[in-house]
Amino acid sequence: MKTVIGLDKLRATRLSLDGIIGLVLTMGFLHEGHLSLIQRAKEECNHVIVSIFVNPTQFGVNEDLSKYPRDLERDLSLIEPLGVDLVWNPTPEIMYPTGYQTWVEVEAITRPLEGSMRPTHFKGVTTVVAKLFNAVQPHKAYFGQKDAQQAAVIRQMVRDLNFPVEINVCPTVREADGLAMSSRNKYLEGDNRKAATILFRALSAAKSAYESGERDAEALRVKMKEVLESESRAQMQYVSCADYDTLEELDVVKGKTLLSMAVLLGKTRLIDNFVLG
Ligand code: PAF
């Protein structure tokens, strides 16, 4: 496995790889969720490239970029046994050199849910993902269902800008008690870690109601809110029952639907979702 930092080295190594190239984009501090994306890419592609870059432009002014967990050595030791061909670990200066002034912005679909809480977040995500796609030129890219809105925004960007990349969204990997894996779970300790299962429990309650025939979207939102309110440590930011593709809130559930939520536990912000239909 080769690890490169510079763009020239990345391009030279990329040119030496032929066949179907799969890209797994990460911000490091890898967990089982990332490893499952790499495994899926290995199954479907001739060569797999992993990017590790903590993208400063997707952090808001009140979000602590410097505290984002990082451990490159550990990440490389987790990736190595999976047969990854190349890891690209660019510096912020390579991605955003002095005088940088070009941005990729997707409109309506970035505004609700995460966009309502983190107004500059998706502009940073789409810009860096477009840059990573341009640099690596993958045939397929792999994202986690846990960041459902991110996946929807990237699908929209790829359609709108004609990127020749197939977007694959892979199932959320969960701890035994249902907590969705996330690099931010590292910040959850003691009672907050126990309380963090509330997201899975709230989504499960709404899903059972749906499976028992409930199709009123507001009733499903209320169900999720009631469960969240039963956990005094959890501070709800939003719950949503929306169309899977457009992310518009529904009145009546029909077709593919996204149940999603964001919750604060102490200072740790958690998101999770289930897909219905
Ligand atoms: O999902 C992430 O880890 C990031 O948002 C991504 C896609 C790597 C862009 O920085």
What 3-state DSSP class applies to 184? helix
Domain membership of residue 175 (yes or no) is no
Q: What is the CATH number of the domain that holds 194?
A: 3.30.1300.10
pLDDT at 133 over 90: yes
In terms of domains, do 108 and 211 share one? no
Whether residue 20 sits in one domain with residue 93? yes
Are residue 254 and residue 218 in the same domain, yes or no? yes
CA of 132, closest atom in ligand 1? 9
Residues 155 and 20 in one domain: yes
> Of 145, 170, 195, which residue is a domain's last?
170
Does any ligand 1 atom lie closer than 6 A to the CB of residue 26?
A: yes
Q: Which of 54, 65, 128 for mutating ligand 1's site (highest number of atoms within 8 Å of CB)?
A: 128
**Is residue 176, in this structure, part of any structural domain at all?**
no
In a domain, residue 202? The reply is: yes
The CA–CA distances, whole Å, from 80 to 38, 176, 231 equal 11, 25, 40
Domain-embedded: residue 216: yes
pLDDT at 171: 98
CA dist 172 and 272 (Å) reads: 9
- pLDDT at residue 236 in the model: 98
Considering the domain architecture, whether residues 188 and 135 belong to the same structural domain is answered as: no
SS (H, E, C) 9-50: HHHHHHHCCCCCEEEEEECCCCCHHHHHHHHHHHHHCCEEEE
Domain tally, the chain: 2
Mean pLDDT value across residues 25-46 = 98
Q: What is the mean pLDDT of residues 235-252?
A: 97
CB 182 less than 6 A from any atom of ligand 1: no
Residues 154 and 233 in one domain: no
Boundaries of domain holding 134: 2-170
Do 165 and 249 share a domain, yes or no? no
pLDDT digits (tens, 9 = 90+) for 165-186: 999 999 999 999 999 999 999 9
Q: How far does the centroid of ligand 1 lie from the alpha carbon of residue 214, in Å?
A: 34
Residue 196 pLDDT > 90:
yes
Question: Residue 267 burial (CB < 10 Å; 0-12/13-18/19+)?
Answer: exposed
pLDDT averaged over every residue in the chain: 97
Of 119, 141, 170, at which residue does a domain stop? 170
Mark whether 221 and 136 lie in a shared domain.
no
Answer yes or no: is 97 within a domain: yes
pLDDT in tens, 210-220: 999 999 999 99
What pLDDT shows up at residue 64? 86
Percentage of residues in the chain with pLDDT exceeding 90?
99
- pLDDT the model gives residue 206: 98
State whether 38 and 163 are in the same domain. Answer: yes
The residues facing 3 across adjacent strands are 87
Query: Do 24 and 109 have their domain in common?
Result: yes
Cβ neighbors of 107 (< 8 A, separation 6 or more) are none
pLDDT of amino acid 186? 92
3-state helix, strand, coil in the chain (%, to 5): 45, 20, 35
Query: Does residue 39 surpass a pLDDT of 90?
Result: yes
Burial class of residue 177 in the structure, from the number of CB atoms within 10 Å of its CB (0-12 exposed, 13-18 middle, 19+ buried)? exposed
Q: Are residues 92 and 194 in the same domain?
A: no
Q: What is the pLDDT of residues 44-99, one digit of tens each?
A: 999 999 999 999 999 999 898 999 999 999 999 999 999 999 999 999 999 999 99
Using the structure block, give the residue that is written with the tokens 């149940």. 259
Q: What is the CATH number of the domain that holds 86?
A: 3.40.50.620
Q: Is residue 154 part of a domain?
A: yes
pLDDT of 258 over the 90 cut: yes
Which residue CA neighbors atom 7 of ligand 1 most closely? 25
Within a domain: 34: yes
Of the candidates 144, 170, 196, which is a domain's last residue? 170
With respect to residue 41, please indicate whether it lies within any of the assigned structural domains: yes
Same structural domain, 43 and 133: yes
Q: Which residues are catalytic?
A: 34
Ligand 1 pocket, 157 CB below 6 A? no
Q: What is the mean pLDDT of residues 132-156?
A: 98
